[in-house]
Amino acid sequence: MYLYSITFYLFSLIAVLSALMVVSARNPVHSVLFLILSFVNASGLFVLLGAEFLAMILVVVYVGAVAVLFLFVVMMLDINFVKLREGFLQYLPFGALLGIVLIVELGILFLTKSFSENSLSKFIPSPEINEIENTQLIGRVLYTEYFYLFQISGLILLVAMVGSITLTLRDRGNVKRQNISSQNFMEAKSAIEKKKIKLGEGI
């Protein structure tokens, strides 16, 4: 029971501290890195609760999406990387500490034998075994009881994606663009010019 409590409080403490650093960090790059750390710790809490599918989705979907968000932040805010590289050695111990914490947490989850099925039942009461799997049960709940909320959240994400693309789209005058309507209504006489070239001469 002590191992489960220590792991729970460790993941919870790091998740709360990293969430506070997300909103308090001045550099948006550091804020995104703390957000990734918070997601990893939240996925560890899901593993402790027995919801391994949600933990995997949180890491694969959200951390992957945050990586794309990182690129959007760099593109939109025009961060001065020369200034960031100047303080690289200053933040190197702190970054190494975060990396070590992540490695230790992943080692606790995946490399130790303490979280095997036999030993985990000592700390967590074994759930009732049903014919319905965890993934199928989540799908049934999402698409029956919370169907409208699920669709509304997808619509909100779609509007946010279109809005972000619209905000980052810049009209540059020196870029040639294709006008499909003018091409469709163009006549052959205005597009093609016939010239009769004499033999042995150029245009």
For residue 45, CA distances in Å to 20, 39, 87, 169, 171 come to: 18, 10, 34, 39, 46
For residue 201, give both structure tokens: 């001469």
Which of the four pLDDT bands, split at 50, 70 and 90, describes residue 159? very high
Burial of 66 (0-12, 13-18, 19+ CB in 10 A): middle
Identify the pLDDT of residue 166: 84
70, 90 Cβ separation under 8 angstroms: no
Q: What is the percent of the chain with per-residue pLDDT over 70, rounded to a whole number?
A: 74
Query: Mean pLDDT, to the nearest integer, of 32-49?
Result: 85
Identify the pLDDT of residue 158: 92
Across 40-49, 62-71, 86-95, 107-116, least confident range: 107-116
Identify the pLDDT of residue 7: 83
Q: How far apart are CA 18 and CA 21, in angstroms?
A: 5
Query: Mean pLDDT, to the nearest integer, of 187-197?
Result: 77
Higher pLDDT, 183 or 113: 183
The mean pLDDT of the chain is 76
Query: Mean pLDDT, to the nearest integer, of 113-138?
Result: 58
Q: What is the percent of the chain with per-residue pLDDT over 90, rounded to a whole number?
A: 6
| pTM (predicted TM-score) | 0.51
Q: Is the pLDDT of residue 117 over 90?
A: no
Q: Is the pLDDT of residue 81 over 70?
A: no
Identify the pLDDT of residue 137: 80
Choose among 10, 37, 12, 8: nearest CA to 22. 37
Kindly report the CA angle at 9 between 4 and 14, in degrees rounded to 5? 130
Choose among 8, 19, 121, 109: nearest CA to 56. 109
Identify the pLDDT of residue 78: 61
Q: Is the pLDDT of residue 118 over 70?
A: no
Identify the pLDDT of residue 112: 58
Q: How far apart are CA 195 and CA 173, in angstroms?
A: 33
Q: Is the pLDDT of residue 155 over 90?
A: yes
Burial of 18 (0-12, 13-18, 19+ CB in 10 A): buried
